[in-house]
Amino acid sequence: MPQEPTERRVVVTGPPRRTRRAPGYYRPRTEIDEQTTLGHTYVRSLMRTQLRAALAVSAVLVLLVGPLPLLFVSTPDGRRLKWLVLGFGLYLPLVLLARWYVRRAERNEHDFVRLVEDENLEGQDR
């Protein structure tokens, strides 16, 4: 009797699959998209941090600009002082303050996106 050829075993390879999460696990992005209470909490935390940065900038602005009328009243003959303060002395602090605020707001948004996209956990799965 002739022997039947034995079938060769074939190894199938492919890209590694992500490990499955527990059935009760939802990604933060899903929570936000479905407008759940947890998603609302995530968005509220971003809004709170942005509000905190805006209030800090507003407080510094009030402290910077608020005393100027008192300074101008205390020096009635100081027309040059008024022009120097308003024309030159105020621009640099305002530009620096605006730059700080924009960088802070972008950092807050970047941190939020990192939290929502769950980058740390996905990087460990691969």
- The DSSP string of 30-72 is HHHHTT-HHHHHHHHHHHHHHHHHHHHHHHHHHHHHTTHHHHH
pLDDT tens, position by position, 57-79: 999 999 999 998 888 888 888 88
What is the pLDDT, as a whole number, of residue 38? 74
Residue with tokens 């509000």: 51
**Euclidean distance between the first and final Cα of the chain, in Å?**
51
Residue-level length of the chain:
126
Record the pTM. Answer: 0.65
Residue 34 token pair: 């479905």
Q: Is the dihedral of CA 102, 121, 28, 14 positive or negative?
A: positive
Give the residue from 97, 92, 95 showing the smallest Cα distance to 59.
97
Structure confidence at residue 76 (pLDDT): 80
Q: What is the mean pLDDT of the chain?
A: 80
pLDDT at 104: 96
Report the distance separating Cα 97 and Cα 92, nearest Å. 8
Q: Is-contact 105 57, C-beta < 8 A? A: no
Give the chain's residues under pLDDT 70: 1-2, 14, 16-31, 33-34, 118-126
